[in-house]
Amino acid sequence: MKLKRVSAIARKEFLHVLRDWRSLGIGIAIPLVMLFLFGYALTLDVDRVPLIVWDQSQTPASRDFIGGFSASRYFELIGSTDDYRTIERAIDSREAVVALVVPVDFERRVLSGSGVSVQAILDGSDSNVASFALGYAEAVTANYSRKVTVDVSRRKGLPLPRGGLQLEPRVWFNTDMESRNYIFPGLIAIVMMVIAALLTSLTFAREWEGGTMEQLIATPVTRGELMLGKLIPYYVIGLLDLVLAVLVGEFVFHIPLRGDIGLIFAASLLFLVGALGLGMLISIVTKSQFLASQIALVATMLPAFLLSGFIFPIDNMPYPIRMVTHIVTARYFVFLLRSIYLKGLGVGELAGEALLLAAFAVFVLALGYYKFRKRIE
């Protein structure tokens, strides 16, 4: 392999990318749009749940109880009502997700310590939001119940309740439990996977459709030199996308980085080789730009979004699907980035995933080398 030939092919590909605004758009503009769009719009946090209240009691005790909801960041009190019809309209129109109905004898039963039930009506059309809202409502109610128990005991001169089971939570790595801190590292993997494969999926196919592949075949450039020369420009673009993603995460979204940034770049460079090699393999096999771009989207975006653990936990998937995720390289890269970003893990803990990424890169490049023939068929 001669570096002079490789540099000539790389220079040719660089010139094509710089002159083609569409390639620059795919390589730089689209990753930035995806980072900002998903970074701001995609969230798994369920807070400020719209709440409507029917306080039939209208007493200090009922207002104190409702105040626990309005003071919580998980609920947003949008108004009150005095009938079920208004509650029904609010939930039907999605103005409210939760409705509380406080009974007339709320204060009397609370002060007597006899116990009281408050009706909570939830919109179950979105089961995820409803489940979280129900959990938040139960937590607020439990806090109020404990406070009332203490007050009643003091008023009656009874000993304060002791013992009992109390949970003392300690959240590691993502103390505020913000989903953005969890999502953004995985988003870097998705962006790099999709963009890298899309860029290189057009390289060889463009040469075949443009009629320039015959000229390259006639030159003394070897298969390896041609593949490496075409890989280098897009590798540089991938590095630029990685730098932009890290800067956006640091200065725009303020994602905590507890690990070594050098490890992030090392893992990303390894992953980038495999992603670019996959796109190049698709381009070599299809020889059609349209077909190559479609296959690249299906082979990268869908598995990366659905089967990498980026959004949906792999442990919750059916067993056959969990087995399929083992061949999705984005799964290992997402794990690497989250472990470095949030946990600060080092090489020793992440060596297994890094070796799998290296094995995939070697496999797709070797297969692409085998499939590419310097002859007209």
**What residues contact 60, with CB distance under 8 A and at least 6 apart?**
107
> In the block, which residue shows the tokens 């300690």?
170
In the chain, ranges of CATH 3.40.1710.10 domains = 49-155
pLDDT value at 209 more than 90: no
What pLDDT shows up at residue 28?
82
* Beta carbons of 223 and 372 less than 8 angstroms apart: yes
d(CA 1, CA 231): 15
d(CA 280, CA 33): 24
> Which of 167, 180, 179, 185 has the alpha carbon at shortest distance from 343?
185
Q: What is the mean pLDDT of residues 209-223?
A: 83
Q: Quick one: tokens of 4?
A: 């002079």
d(CA 350, CA 181): 20
* Beta carbons of 48 and 73 less than 8 angstroms apart: yes
Q: What is the mean pLDDT of residues 178-200?
A: 87
For 266, 340, 350, the CA distances from 223, given in Å and listed in that order, are 27, 37, 34
Structure confidence at residue 168 as a pLDDT band (50, 70, 90): confident
Higher-scoring residue by pLDDT: 76, 167: 76
> In the block, which residue shows the tokens 């108004």?
79
Please tell me the least confidently modeled range out of 46-50, 204-208, 255-259.
204-208
What pLDDT shows up at residue 121?
95
d(CA 236, CA 233): 5
d(CA 40, CA 180): 8
What's the start-to-end Cα distance of the chain, in Å? 25
Tell me: the pLDDT tens digits for 11-69?
A: 988 888 778 777 777 778 888 888 888 888 777 778 889 999 999 999 999 999 999 99
d(CA 51, CA 98): 5
User: Helices marked H in the chain — which ranges?
Assistant: 3-19, 21-24, 30-41, 60-70, 84-92, 106-112, 127-155, 179-200, 203-210, 213-218, 223-251, 261-286, 289-306, 319-324, 329-338, 347-371
d(CA 376, CA 242): 37
Q: Which amino acid is at 194?
A: V
Structure confidence at residue 105 as a pLDDT band (50, 70, 90): very high
What pLDDT shows up at residue 221?
87
Structure confidence at residue 177 as a pLDDT band (50, 70, 90): confident
* Beta carbons of 111 and 147 less than 8 angstroms apart: no
Q: Quick one: tokens of 43?
A: 């969230």
Tell me: the pLDDT tens digits for 117-130?
A: 899 999 998 888 89
What does pLDDT average to over the chain? 88
DSSP 316: G
> In the block, which residue shows the tokens 């963009």?
195
Q: What is the mean pLDDT of residues 266-284?
A: 93
pLDDT value at 294 more than 60: yes
Bridge partner residues of 75 (DSSP): 49
Residue 99 has phi, psi (to 5 degrees) of -130, 135
CATH number of 49-155: 3.40.1710.10
**What residues contact 174, with CB distance under 8 A and at least 6 apart?**
181, 182, 256, 342
Q: What is the mean pLDDT of residues 179-192?
A: 89
